[in-house]
Amino acid sequence: MEEMKNFKAWPKGRPKSLIYPEVPLYQFLNSTAARYPDTVAIRFGGMELMYQELLDLSHKFAHALMARGVKKGDRVAVHLPNCPQFAIAYFAILKLGAIFVPCSPLGAERELEHQFNDAGAETLITLDLTIEVINKILGNTKVKTLIVVSLADAYPPISAPVKLLTKSPIENGEDFITLLNEGASDPVNEEIDPRKDIAHLAYTGGTTGLSKGVMVSHYNAVVNVIQASHWFFGGTVVYKDGMLTPDLSLVKEELGDEEPVLREKMTVLVVVPWFHAMGTIGYLNMQVYGGNTMIVFPRFDATEYIRAVDKYKADILGGAPQLYIPMVQHPEFKNVDMSRIRLAVSGAAPLPVPVLNQMLENFSGVVNEAYGMTEIVMMAIANPPTREGLKAGSVGIPVFDTYAKVIDLETGEPLPPGKEGEICMKGPQCMMGYWEKPEETANVLIDGWVHSGDIGYYDDDGYYYITDRKKDMVIYKGHNVYPRELEEILFEHPKVGHCAVLGKKDDKGGEIPVAFIQLKPDTDGTPEEFMTFVNDKVANYKFLREVYFIDAIPVSAAGKVLKKDLREQLNA
């Protein structure tokens, strides 16, 4: 398949292909704890955990779960925001050979009940602050063991009063800390068949109905961590005597005096939720592999996040556009020296070009837009990790050992450069399939190719562009209208904070493009102003026909715009 790949824009210091050791996913933590036992792994609200401590605590928690009957192949649901307890539980689950089932703490009752039952989870780790939602649905699930986490436990007692966090008494379930105290600390390393054993059962966003469980093997996840890491590190991985170590000799050879984007032991601000594919792979496992210090936030607060760049001397940022949009619009953004940022990655949703340009102005390092989906673990396509390798508006080129193509929506035939169709991807990181859904698997995974449902095209240099979701496309009088194009234009308007374009049913046109706009603070405008702004720049069949102002564009915890919610508002 080598001939299908366009290497024109391939970055220096990166081999064309990588070797992927067939090891359990928990091997990243084992290796880094052995190499850097005293490096800080996690900083959270004033507390620190070293890599050796994170490993020891995950063993203690694994023993406690084992005592409650958790064994290889069991599904354990984790319903938590980012916090040290999440990381401890995650590695403990993997070490038992059990299956990690991430669930959003912002999930609605119906969605959570569906996920717990679909996965058949008998163990659930949740948060005291969200226990009411869980109590309402617990009786309708198979959960037998309920473990409750309190964020108050992660704050040093002396600073807890200023954090305004108190520990609630646990009326239902067991206290996470009690389990940690009772567990032994001898190593737990269940034998794993990396290609066959499931590591993650990750539920898709469910933007189009009930979410499906994506089966990710240990091998799929290890592959994607290595692909993503070495895209930014350069070099390759060495596996020897049970240790996974980045080998950066090729980078030094090819880059000479040029600085690689990343080296080991850097500081990263982590606000991407770990229950999301981008979080688990990119902002937990990838950081552990690099021996990085993770500054972990349970939620995003633009002021706190901007100040943390200076406070912690951060090297790396990452998240969805929902992180960068309010960040660059924040009054303090201009006051903080952002030039030390070596890497800022955006994914999960399209990054508006005006926001990208502002980031390039303020960061001296690499700003990178990448693309992936839960069905390919996390990442398949990314811009080359250099400033000159970035193409604004593009999500980049297929990474190591990954292939992409664009197919005709009607015939399924591959299309040439510049022609829009459905984007399909293939590589060793592609999912095993959907949990207990063979028919749905067969519709999406065809001859090893994941059919993304995203519309796009690629150019002569092999760069891919996402123009829309297949399901979001508006068909006006037989013409395809891609909301992304209209949204990009709206984002250029100085009063637009956030926006979303979708189709509204119409007797004459079938569907008409309409926009929801969240204005920037202290601005106002009329629908006509924004319609004229867009319609002056597009063909008449793409004209915006209506504009609605909204206090806040609804987004998922992963930063994707919830067009389903906006459609409901339209229909209402």
Question: Domains in the chain, start-ordered, CATH in brackets?
Answer: 27-33+44-216 (3.40.50.12780), 473-571 (3.30.300.30)
- What angle do helix axes 483-491 and 527-535 make, rounded to 10 degrees? 110
pTM for the structure as a whole: 0.88
Instruction: Enumerate residue ranges in the chain where pLDDT < 70.
Output: 1-3, 205-209
- Choose among 329, 325, 228, 233: nearest CA to 279: 228
Q: Token match 């240099």: residue?
A: 461
Closest CA to 371 of 268, 275, 466, 269: 466
Q: What per-residue confidence (pLDDT) applies to 1?
A: 39
Amino acid at 149: V
Distance CA 49, CA 293 (A): 10
What does the alpha-carbon distance between residue 91 and residue 108 come to, in Å, rounded to a whole number?
Answer: 26
pLDDT at 559: 81
| 540: CB partners within 8 A, 6+ apart | none
Report pLDDT for 2. 41
Q: What is the pLDDT of residue 158?
A: 82
Looking at residue 321, what is its pLDDT? Answer: 86
Q: Say what the pLDDT of residue 252 is.
A: 79
Residue in the block written with tokens 């984002």: 491
Among candidates 194, 190, 192, which has minimal Cα distance to 65? 190
pLDDT of residue 205: 60
CB 103 within 8 A of CB 78: yes
Alpha helices in 164-301 (DSSP H): 176-182, 218-233, 249-255, 277, 286-289
CB 79 within 8 A of CB 105: yes
